[in-house]
Amino acid sequence: MLLRLEPRAQASRGLRIAAPLIALALTLGSGTVLFGALGQNPILALHTFFIRPIDSLYGLSELAIKAAPLALCAVGLAIGFRGNVWNIGAEGQLTMGAICGGGLALAFYGVEGPWLLPLMVLAGGLGGMAWGAIPALLKTRFNANEILTSLMLTYVAIQLLGYLVHGPWRDPEGYNFPETRLFGEQALLPVLLDGTRLHGGVVLALIAVGLGWLLLSRSFTGFQIKVVGQAPAAAAYAGFSRGRVVWLSFLIGGGLAGIAGLGEVAGPMGQLNPTVSPGYGFAAIICAFLGRLHPFGVLLASLLLALLFLGGESLQMHLNLPLAITGVFQGLLLFFVLACDVFVRYRVRLGPAVASPAP
């Protein structure tokens, strides 16, 4: 006897609503068992994971800060993935954005004015775009696989950042430690809420989500991207250019990732370090798919991933659970969400595949 998955002609409407709820129930159930087996009070543990990190305005602001770079990167990636363009290098594009924007802050240290920050945002976006343009060029000109080129360029960007903060951009009063000086006041994104770190980058992320939705759902360009992604032959027949979609995807994805990087260095960090991002560019790939490649879905997925991160910290800090256990729980949660998602689009059948009747 075999189990097999059969695609549904139409995604089940009931399951579409029920799937997240089932995933939630499974997560809570397995969490209860997991934490109970470790001798913890399961209710307290689940509360510590899901509620405690965001039970204050400060907590909510931290959630937004954590989700913003994820959402920025993931919206750009989702647009590309819709067009069948596989940009895996958002992490590198983010790093380039941080280098270009942060470089401006360092170059104008001491002579800054209100004009500096907009320039930095622009430089961050352009830096990310430029880094995204390389795989786009290699793809359209030489048909080089963009997964490989964009991924490899990530490591180039990270090494470049390492070189700069270990070398020429090192803080002159920093005892040769690998970090730049702290940016001047005018080179920092404004804090939106007193007593928190909620910065302007969060607003940029929300704008990006809105614009991403407009592009994909309400514009002809978005339509072209989707057609090129789903039916390349039809797209070619209609005269939609595949090369244009590749370029657009990489420029949008790179630009948004670059702004995300600038948001980190001009926001909560306020300087350049050897590690600007703890892997936002890669986590954004998960966000993009978790959000079903829809900008609003991506926003929700980014918030969920951010909460997973904060919850993991909270479990360690307040219940003394080791990192590995919080990792197991985070993995379970993602697994349930994705597994339930499968049943929205597929149904489970018993027995071998049946040949479809001849027409």
Helix (H) or strand (E) holding 256: helix 242-264
In whole angstroms, what is the distance from residue 56 CA to residue 58 CA? Answer: 5
Buried b (16+ CB within 10 A) or exposed e, 181-216: bebbeebbbeeeeeebbbbbbbbbbeebbeebbebb
Q: Which is nearer to other proteins, 78 or 98 (CB)?
A: 98
Strands (E), 261-334: none
Report the C-alpha gap between 28 and 23 in whole angstroms: 9
User: One symbol per residue from 178 to 207: x for binding other proteins (CB under 8 A), - otherwise; what is it?
Assistant: xx--x--------------x----------
Angle value at C-alpha 304, between 302 and 310, nearest 5 degrees: 105
Query: Which residues have CB under 8 Å from 52's CB, separation 6+?
Result: 59, 314, 318
Q: List the x/- string, 233-272, binding to other proteins by CB under 8 A.
A: -------------------------------x--xxxxx-
Q: How many residues bind other proteins (CB under 8 A)?
A: 50
Using the rule CB under 8 A, which residue among 29, 113, 190, 278 binds other proteins? 278
Rounded distance between C-alpha atoms, residue 73 and residue 66, angstroms:
12
Minimum Å distance from CB 86 to other proteins? 26
Q: Looking at beta carbons only, is 56 or 145 nearer to other proteins?
A: 56
| Residue among 11, 51, 231, 234 that touches other proteins (CB under 8 A) | 51
Cα dihedral sign, 80-84-87-88: positive
Binding map of other proteins across residues 78-117, x = CB under 8 A, - = no contact: ----------------------------------------
Q: Answer yes or no whether residue 330 interacts with other proteins by CB under 8 A.
A: no
- 148 Cβ contact partners less than 8 Å away, ≥ 6 residues apart: none
Q: Is 44 in the site for other proteins (CB under 8 A)?
A: yes
- Residue 62 found at the interface with other proteins (CB under 8 A): yes
Token duo for residue 6: 């059969």
Task: Please report whether residue 38 would count as binding other proteins according to CB under 8 A.
Answer: no
Which residues are at the interface with other proteins (CB under 8 A)? Answer: 41, 43-44, 46-47, 51-52, 54-58, 60, 62, 65-66, 159, 162, 166-167, 175-179, 182, 197, 264, 267-271, 273-278, 309-310, 313-314, 316-318, 320, 322-324
